[in-house]
Chain A
Amino acid sequence: MKSAVIVFPASNCDRDAAVALEQMTGTRPHMVWHQQSELPDVDLVVLPGGFSYGDYLRSGAMASQSAVMQAVKAHAERGGAVLGICNGFQVLTESHLLPGALMKNAELKFVCRPVSMTVEETQNAFTRKYAHGQRVRFPVAHGDGNYYADEETLNRLEGEGRVVFRYVEGDNPNGSSRNIAGILSEKRNVLGLMPHPERVVDPLLGGTDGRGLFESLIETLA
Chain B
Amino acid sequence: MTTITPELVAEHGLTPEEYGRIKRLLNREPSFVELGIFSVMWSEHCSYKSTRIHLRKLPTKAPWVLQGPGENAGVVDIGDGDACIFKMESHNHPSFIEPYQGAATGVGGIMRDVFTMGARPIAMMNALRFGEPSHPKTRHLVSGVVSGIGGYGNCMGVPTVGGEVNFHASYNGNILVNAMCVGLARRDKIFLSAAKGAGNPVVYIGSKTGRDGIHGATMASAEFSEDSEEKRPTVQVGDPFTEKLLLEACLELMATDAIIAIQDMGAAGLTSSSAEMADKGGSGIELDLDRVPQREVGMSAYDMMLSESQERMLAVLKPGREAEAEAIFRKWELDFAVIGITTDTRRLVVKHRGEIVADMPVNALSDEAPLYERPLSRRPPATGTPSYDASRPVLASLKKILAAPDMCSRRWVWEQYDYTVMADTVQIPGGDAAVVRVHNTQKALAISTDVTPRYCKADPYEGAKQAVAEAWRNLTAVGATPLAVTDNLNYGNPQKPEIMGEIVAGIDGIGAACRALDFPVIGGNCSLYNETNGEAILPTPTIGGVGLINNVARMATIAFKRAGDAVILVGDTKGHLGQSIYLRESEGREEGPCPPVDLATEKRTGDFVRRLVADGRVDTVHDVSDGGVLVAVAEMALAGDIGADIGIAGAAEAIPFFFGEDQGRYLLTASPKEADRIEGELRAAGIVHAIIGKTIAEELLRVEREGEVTLAELRRAHEGWFPNYMAGEEVPATN
Decide yes or no whether A113 CB sits under 8 A from chain B.
yes
> Interface segment, B346-354, B416-424, B529-537, B591-599?
B416-424
| Cα-based distance from A143 to B151 in the complex (angstroms) | 9
User: Count the A residues whose beta carbon is within 8 Å of the partner chain — how many?
Assistant: 30
Q: Which residues of A contact B414 (CB under 8 A)?
A: 112
Decide yes or no whether B32 CB sits under 8 A from chain A.
no
B416 near A110: Cβ-Cβ < 8 Å: yes
Known contacts A139-B420, A199-B420: A204-B240 contact under CB 8 Å: no
A204 near B420: Cβ-Cβ < 8 Å: no
| Cα-based distance from A9 to B332 in the complex (angstroms) | 7
| Cα-based distance from A55 to B415 in the complex (angstroms) | 19
> Interface segment, A10-18, A73-81, A156-164?
A10-18
Q: Which residues of B contact A205 (CB under 8 A)?
A: 420, 423-426
> Interface segment, B153-161, B288-296, B566-574?
B153-161
Q: Which of B151, B415, B421 lies in contact with A113, CB distance below 8 A?
A: B415
Q: Which residues of B contact A112 (CB under 8 A)?
A: 154, 414-420
Decide yes or no whether A133 CB sits under 8 A from chain B.
no
Q: Which of A49, A109, A196, A206 lies in contact with B416, CB distance below 8 A?
A: A109
Decide yes or no whether A154 CB sits under 8 A from chain B.
no
Within 8 A of A (CB), among B299-339: 332-333
Q: Which residues of B contact A204 (CB under 8 A)?
A: 426, 437, 552-553
Q: Which residues of A contact B419 (CB under 8 A)?
A: 112
A50 near B150: Cβ-Cβ < 8 Å: no
B157 near A50: Cβ-Cβ < 8 Å: yes
| Cα-based distance from A202 to B423 in the complex (angstroms) | 9
A9 near B154: Cβ-Cβ < 8 Å: no
Q: Which of B147, B155, B552 lies in contact with A51, CB distance below 8 A?
A: B155
Q: Which residues of B contact A215 (CB under 8 A)?
A: none
User: Count the B residues whose beta carbon is within 8 Å of the partner chain — how many?
Assistant: 32
The interface centre, meaning the residue of A16, A110, A113, A196 with most chain B CB atoms within 10 A of its CB, is A110
Shortest distance between the CB of B119 and any CB in chain A (Å): 15
Q: Which residues of B contact A13 (CB under 8 A)?
A: 157, 421
Residue of B nearest to A11 (CB): B157
A10 near B245: Cβ-Cβ < 8 Å: yes
Q: Which of A10, A20, A196 lies in contact with B155, CB distance below 8 A?
A: A10
Can you list, as one digit per residue, whether each of A197-212 has a CB less than 8 Å from chain B (1) or not (0)?
0110010111000000
Q: Which residues of B contact A50 (CB under 8 A)?
A: 157
Can you list, as one digit per residue, whether each of B148-174 has a CB less than 8 Å from chain A (1) or not (0)?
001100111100000000000000000
Residue of A nearest to B120 (CB): A15
Shortest distance between the CB of B227 and any CB in chain A (Å): 31
B241 near A53: Cβ-Cβ < 8 Å: yes
| Cα-based distance from A187 to B418 in the complex (angstroms) | 33
Decide yes or no whether B239 CB sits under 8 A from chain A.
yes
Q: Which residues of A contact B150 (CB under 8 A)?
A: 110
| Cα-based distance from A5 to B245 in the complex (angstroms) | 18
Decide yes or no whether B244 CB sits under 8 A from chain A.
yes
Known contacts A9-B332, A16-B423, A19-B423: A51-B416 contact under CB 8 Å: no
Q: Which residues of A contact B415 (CB under 8 A)?
A: 111-113
Shortest distance between the CB of A51 and any CB in chain B (Å): 4
Shortest distance between the CB of B455 and any CB in chain A (Å): 32
Can you list, as one digit per residue, whether each of A153-185 has a CB less than 8 Å from chain B (1) or not (0)?
000000000000000000000000000000000
Residue of A nearest to B150 (CB): A110
Residue of B nearest to A141 (CB): B418
Q: Which of B155, B418, B428 lies in contact with A54, CB distance below 8 A?
A: B155
Can you list, as one digit per residue, whether each of B546-572 has a CB less than 8 Å from chain A (1) or not (0)?
000000110000000000000000000
Residue of B nearest to A108 (CB): B147
Q: Which of A10, A55, A110, A206 lies in contact with B418, CB distance below 8 A?
A: A110
Q: Which residues of A contact B245 (CB under 8 A)?
A: 9-10
The interface centre, meaning the residue of A10, A139, A198 with most chain B CB atoms within 10 A of its CB, is A10
B437 near A54: Cβ-Cβ < 8 Å: no
A54 near B239: Cβ-Cβ < 8 Å: yes
Shortest distance between the CB of A63 and any CB in chain B (Å): 12
Q: Which residues of B contact A54 (CB under 8 A)?
A: 155, 239-242, 244
Within 8 A of A (CB), among B386-419: 414-419
Residue of A nearest to B239 (CB): A54
Residue of B nearest to A111 (CB): B415
Q: Which residues of B contact A56 (CB under 8 A)?
A: 241
| Cα-based distance from A16 to B425 in the complex (angstroms) | 12
Can you list, as one digit per residue, whether each of A4-40 has a CB less than 8 Å from chain B (1) or not (0)?
0000011011011001100000000000000000000
| Cα-based distance from A139 to B421 in the complex (angstroms) | 10
| Cα-based distance from A105 to B426 in the complex (angstroms) | 27
Within 8 A of B (CB), among A52-70: 53-56
Shortest distance between the CB of A183 and any CB in chain B (Å): 23
Q: Which residues of A contact B422 (CB under 8 A)?
A: 15-16
A9 near B244: Cβ-Cβ < 8 Å: yes
Q: Which residues of B contact A49 (CB under 8 A)?
A: 421
Can you list, as one digit per residue, whether each of B234-268 has a CB less than 8 Å from chain A (1) or not (0)?
00000111101100000000000000000000000
Residue of B nearest to A196 (CB): B420
| Cα-based distance from A55 to B333 in the complex (angstroms) | 16
Within 8 A of B (CB), among A106-143: 109-113, 139, 141, 143
Q: Which residues of B contact A113 (CB under 8 A)?
A: 415
| Cα-based distance from A212 to B417 in the complex (angstroms) | 27
A51 near B241: Cβ-Cβ < 8 Å: yes
A51 near B154: Cβ-Cβ < 8 Å: yes
Q: Which residues of B contact A196 (CB under 8 A)?
A: 420
Q: Which residues of A contact B242 (CB under 8 A)?
A: 54
Residue of A nearest to B414 (CB): A112
Residue of A nearest to B426 (CB): A204
Shortest distance between the CB of A187 and any CB in chain B (Å): 30
The interface centre, meaning the residue of B417, B420, B425 with most chain A CB atoms within 10 A of its CB, is B420
Q: Which of A12, A139, A143, A198 lies in contact with B244, CB distance below 8 A?
A: A12
Known contacts A51-B240, A53-B241, A204-B437: A110-B154 contact under CB 8 Å: yes
| Cα-based distance from A55 to B155 in the complex (angstroms) | 9
Residue of A nearest to B240 (CB): A54
Closest 10 CB pairs of A and B: A12-B157, A54-B241, A51-B155, A141-B418, A16-B423, A10-B244, A112-B418, A110-B416, A110-B150, A10-B241
Q: A54-B244, A205-B426 are in contact. List 20 more A-B contacts (CB 8 A).
A: A9-B333, A10-B155, A10-B240, A12-B155, A12-B156, A12-B421, A15-B422, A19-B423, A50-B157, A51-B240, A54-B241, A55-B155, A110-B154, A110-B417, A110-B418, A198-B423, A199-B423, A204-B553, A205-B420, A205-B424
Show 16 residue pairs from A and B whose CB-CB distance is below 8 angstroms, ordered by the A residue: A9-B333, A10-B157, A15-B422, A15-B423, A20-B423, A51-B244, A110-B147, A110-B150, A110-B418, A112-B418, A112-B419, A112-B420, A143-B154, A199-B421, A205-B420, A205-B425
A residues neighboring B (CB under 8 Å): 9-10, 12-13, 15-16, 19-20, 49-51, 53-56, 109-113, 139, 141, 143, 196, 198-199, 202, 204-206
